[in-house]
């Protein structure tokens, strides 16, 4: 297990831009505010989205396209560093007009309206590196 102690930095609340990609906006905000590590959550609605499902045997991501408006029921994740740049990792639960939930790794999503909370974490850099066991980019000891 890798454990890092952090202290709390800034708390940001942001209204995301209509029509823009949620992941790009979070990435851009982290860069603009020079946030290297944070916990984040968001709620709102997306006009379309793409979720990912990681197949642990083939170690490849499958894509789940959602080409209809959905509620962003919840979106949780973090920002850490990958190749020295802020990297957003979020998972989301999305609901359709019947209340059915789609869930997974959020690859992209066009914002209809969304509210973001970011809790900056201050301490040593948390950097993602390729992990040979999982095939994922995981936080490293360094």
The least CB distance from residue 62 to Zn ion, in Å, is 12
Backbone angles phi, psi at 32, to 5 degrees: -60, -40
Binding-site size, Zn ion (CB under 5 A): 1
* Nearest to Zn ion of 24, 69 (CB atom): 24
* Residues ≥6 apart with Cβ < 8 Å to 120: 8, 9, 10, 11, 12, 33, 35, 37, 38
* Nearest to Zn ion of 105, 128 (CB atom): 105
* Nearest to Zn ion of 31, 53 (CB atom): 53
Q: Does 33 bind Zn ion (CB under 5 A)?
A: no
* Nearest to Zn ion of 15, 62 (CB atom): 62
Q: Which of 63, 50, 44, 37 is nearest to 118 (CA)?
A: 37
The least CB distance from residue 68 to Zn ion, in Å, is 22
The least CB distance from residue 104 to Zn ion, in Å, is 8
Q: How far apart are CA 140 and CA 142, in angstroms?
A: 5
According to CB under 5 A, which residues from 90 to 109 bind Zn ion?
105
Are the CB atoms for 105 and 53 separated by under 8 Å? yes
Are the CB atoms for 7 and 121 separated by under 8 Å? yes
Q: Which residues bind Zn ion (CB under 5 A)?
A: 105
């Amino acid at each position: 297990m890798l454990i890092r102690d952090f202290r709390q930095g800034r708390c940001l609340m942001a209204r995301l831009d209509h029509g823009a990609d949620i992941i790009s906006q979070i990435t851009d905000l982290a860069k603009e505010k020079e946030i290297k590590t944070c916990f984040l959550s968001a709620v709102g609605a997306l006009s379309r989205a793409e979720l990912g499902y990681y197949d642990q045997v083939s170690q490849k991501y499958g894509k789940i396209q959602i080409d209809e408006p959905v509620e962003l029921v919840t979106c949780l994740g973090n920002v850490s560093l990958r190749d020295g740049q802020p990297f957003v990792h979020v998972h989301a639960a999305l609901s359709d007009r019947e209340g059915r939930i789609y869930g997974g790794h959020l690859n992209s999503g066009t914002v209809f309206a969304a509210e973001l909370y970011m809790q900056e974490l201050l301490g040593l850099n948390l950097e993602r590196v390729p992990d040979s066991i999982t095939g994922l980019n995981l936080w490293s000891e360094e």
